[in-house]
Chain A
Amino acid sequence: MPTGMNRGGSRSTNSLPPDPVEIIRSKACSRRVKLNVGGLAHEVLWRTLDRLPRTRLGKLRDCNTHEALMESCDDYNLEENEYFFDRHPGAFTSILNFYRTGKLHMMEEMCALSFSQELDYWGIDEIYLESCCQARYHQKKEQMNEELKREAETMRDREGEEFDNTFCAVKRKKLWDLLEKPGSSVAAKILAIISILFIVLSTIALSLNTLPDLQDTDEFGQVTDNPQLAHVEAVCIAWFTMEYLLRFLSSPNKWKFFKGPLNVIDLLAILPYYVTIFLTESNKSVLQFQNVRRVVQIFRIMRILRILKLARHSTGLQSLGFTLRRSYNELGLLILFLAMGIMIFSSLVFFAEKDEDDTKFKSIPASFWWATITMTTVGYGDIYPKTLLGKIVGGLCCIAGVLVIALPIPIIVNNFSEFYKEQKRQEKAIKRREALERAKRNGSIVSMNMKDTFARSMELMDIVVEKNGENLDKSEKLRDNSLSPSKWKWGKRTASETSSNKSFETKYQEQSSPENVRNTNASPQHLNVQKLEEMYSKMAKTQSQPNINVDQMDQTFKVKKQNQMEMEQISVPSDPLLSTPDGIVDMRSLSSIDSFISCATEFPDPAKFTHSPAASVLNKAPVNPALERIQDQAPPALPPNNAPGRQVPPALDSNYYKNFLGISSINAGFLGGAGDKRGPSLSEIPEGPSRQGNPIKSRPLKVNFMEGDVQNTQAAALSAIVHPSAIVSKRITGPLDGPLHRERHLASIEASITCSTSGTKSPEDILPDVFTFHDDGVKKYIDADSDEDEQPPDGRNTPAGSLSLRYPHITNSDHPGQKEGIYRRDGNHLEEYLAASSAKHFGQNCLYNVESATRRTKRGGNQEGNKLDNHISPEIHVTSGESGCSTAYDDKI
């Protein structure tokens, strides 16, 4: 980590964005610029970047305002003339070389997919890739796409088996599993084995039937089947028929089932028997006629098709079939080669041999046979050349045959082995996914592993979506792939996939514009993981200076208490919960918060999976409804905002999500940091959520971080507290979003818990705070660390008090909730959680804020300090207002 970034970090504490003039000046003073990409510093001339003005780096030069700069890069430091991008450093080397030399090459060890993502991020079209590298790139990409598509197809097949719209759905599903999925249960396995045995038995019977010793003669003197074998045959056919019918009946999609190649084989294995019976029964009188007999014979031969039924039970046979289907090009080539060879050598040998007496090479077609047998080196010896010329031709024919047959075979073999390997891998992947799902349900998996699978499944879903709307997407894709300068304007157009997160952000910013207006003086600060990590490492180093902190805390708690009292007084009259219109408004605002939180807390989870560009598309899907809800409910929440007397609900509102968004973003950041994932994925995490609630929410965070810089121990506490609260917030989303999301959250809870425990070596005066919270919110997850609860310092009172406040509040607020309907109660439920977490949390937050404020002001008439103070003070009101609000509820109800 370069030292320059430390100061860059301190820049973010100067809540004021630098003046455009300053930016321009800093840009003008040097010909070079430092680009820090994922920790790797590069130095480059401005004019080099100017060569591609429409790309991200090219635009960096034209960015003269803070906002524009922040849109282009993740962080910057004007004094050092350094710009930070939180991307993969390896890929950037090749990309920067593109600026320098105008030629885009790709590092050999780079994954094609990840490289394409990087290209998207930097706004460079993949078409610029040089010819020497593009083959590798496209091959990989196509291969990956194909694989994903195939996997998606199997997924869809599996998901397509819906039984809900018909009768006996459950039973049919069971039957279907029993017959079609031998791996699903023991009974199914036994059934499959019985089926295989029947196939083998019937084929053996079929061949035994032709033994002259076992055959009987019928009334016309013709040979017929042995009666015992006929019985065996009948039983086998009965079994096959039953199997087929049961399958057909239980299949979710009849037509698809009918079309399936394996089922066609099944049908072909059964049909000849019935056709034979039909023919013999209906034509008993004319059976002696040769024609009917011949037809019957043909159908009898068709019975041999049942051996193909084994394909259902063997992956190898299936992949053989698939290989032949896929490499029909090469097969055609093989046949063409052979045909040409046969033609040439048979005509040559014909001309060589035709003057011999009693030659067998009577014509060219007659010598085809010889050429075939020779070229395939079978050599029966029924025809062979006798003249010298003929023998020379024969010798050449042998060698040519060996060559010609050997040539295309490796390609087919390659296809086969590739496909076979893939199939094996796929089987394993499916098993792994199932295991993962199971583990997810049990909640026994750390989210680190889940990331991959989720990314994968999301990609798959994306492809499914893509397939569904194929026509539309294709055209779009074409546009995307072709050189489209418009794509470079990713900032606004958000055409590239990776920036879809961003589109979401900007959308959100529009929606939350009222808040924006209210807090115009607050700058949108950017929290980045690097800083977090720095902080984290620092606090790990210096863990032991609680003395000063305690003092300061005492002080600050007093201040806070005072504030709280004040706010209580204010909020009691201003928040008449029981008066219906206002109450509704209030509730609504709360529920809107809930939905907001649900979206916010949900966001880091998918954001973690944004490795793949595809995932981001899906990302949007769950988030959008929640957003819409906010949009719907934001207006009712806003009116009181304008009224001077009713500042509490909106304040609450902003307060809540300020808190939660920030927390969740930190949480995400920490999760990423803990997992040592410094790749491109990480950059998305803090960016997404933290920009969502942009101006308001980042403020408390910022303050906290500054605090963390100064007093590491408290930062440790913060990080520790952050995780449980994130857990709570995630749990809140549970009831809202249904079991599906909860699963996901549970898993990430695990991860965050591990994080928090790793960070709990912080001083004891803060720890208890954390763990009392644990007790309330996440009882399950308490670890051995909770022993440390024993020594509560002075400051303990306040949070404890607010905690105790929580309980009546919960019970009381439930009452009106019941009256007002389910929806509202839902809101209340959530609210109680919110109150729990935020009260706790704000105890902490507030503490830092006030403390920092006082410290800053003490430090002298520093302007920045003053400003900071200004920023913070409303927040303090807000927090205490929140707890006051809860007391208000208490009183009223």
Chain B
Amino acid sequence: METLLNPSKTPNLFIPKTHLFKPYFLHSNFNPQPHSSFNRRPLSITITCKVKTSQGRKNDGKNISKKIVLTDSAPELSNEEIKAKPKGGGKAWGVIKKFPKRVLAILSNLPLAIGEMFTVAGLMALGTAIDQGESPEYYFQKYPEENPIFGFFTWRWVLTLGFDHMFSSPVFLGTLILLGTSLMACTYTTQIPLVKVARRWSFLQSADSIRKQEFSDTLPQASVSDLGVILMGAGYEVFLKGPSLYAFKGLAGRFAPIGVHLAMLLIMAGGTLSATGSFRGSVTVPQGLNFVMGDVLGPTGFLSTPTEAFNTEVHVNKFYMDYYDSGEVSQFHTDLSLFDMNGKEVMRKTLSVNDPLRYGGITIYQTNWSFSALQILKDGEGPFNLAMAPLTINGDKKLFGTFLLVGDTDSSNVKGISMLARDLQSIVLYDKQGKFAGVRRPNSKLPIEIDGTKIVIVDAIGSSGLDLKTDPGVPAVYAGFGALMLTTCISYLSHAQIWALQDGTTVIVGGKTNRAKAEFPDEMNRLLDQVPEIVESSISKKPDNIGG
């Protein structure tokens, strides 16, 4: 542990932070703080002893700090100091008082947070590698005990740890909760004091301390007020006090990480609300039929409470699909009418994919479709409705089929006409032997003759696959999303600080920045080039482009 204390003739309290070795396990740190006051005090030294119980802060991170003031100057007030004084009597009370602080300190430990993040990432990766939501037999088969993966991973691991439903398992949720509490603790202990520090501005009073900055330069014939004007033109906020100058830019970049953490907490809270308080349901409704919302929606958690809107009746007026010229489906549409308990129509809208219907907090999405029935005329009689059944084939494409009995219905060997369809626009017909007979479109009304029977396809009745959902957490989550996007963008800004001191006719400039370290020297050089050089023979300044 090194201490670098510079009790010099001028109040000079610069901390070259990089000189201090910060081995990981070290628990205390001796760190003199800059004194941000205006009056020049001879030999006023403030030693701040920080008792850190954990390492890994941002550069100026503060924790509980006790100040030992050596002179009679007024001590710098910080809130932490007052909190550190134990109030009340009794040892037990003191221990209880310290307990939340200890927990807080443990939780805001950075390596713990990093470890938690790694754990979350690893669990998520495992969750994608192991198939989720299958029956136990599947896992018995896939991870057998006779032949364990890596020598130990069997189905017992999967089922006891809940890896078959990883994303709602206690292990995963517990790690997420721990991460959330770490977030809260870290924001409270580290980030908020950081705000206080960053807002304090301090002047550096000695040329040496300025030279020790990351970037430093000397301008031989210049004036510090010219530098101030140039910096102001470049967007810095400049403070000038006598011969010394302090300028900064991009302070928002220091605050934005707090915003990021708060936004994440908001998202987590909203997500928890969604998980415990929403209703979900899905239904496939043939064209022309109704359903009541409340019948279809089921709760997902213990906070779910139904609303008045659940009594609404939904009527599917029409379901139709749009097609490309090549025959592929381009869009699904469902024309819906909503009726309230009294039978009055309250809403009418045509849904499609990416365009849901919103009513009373409930949202209806078009997610699927099915073939309900085929309406045909047989030999001029009818119309008959033949129910279409889904046939299983590989791939995404659907296939539906139905069967029309022809001839003797009592014999054991029944024969008939088969009709298959991939979508609602064309039906393929096969005769009694299973040979291809023809293709008909429902709106053409053209008859087809198969084995002596005349068939006319009147209509193809589809059914709409709808998903219903109500989610109280969505506003919070969306707000969190917006905040996260905004604060992440802002935290890209770099907080640059510049100090300068007028020493006779030379100006000594030093600066540092926290993010854009690569570009900072170039930017500084560009700015310094613009500072005019004072030529000694004349009082008026010649704006030369020659700088330090």
- A and B from one assembly? no
Q: Which residues of B contact A (CB under 8 A)?
A: none
Q: Which residues of A contact B (CB under 8 A)?
A: none
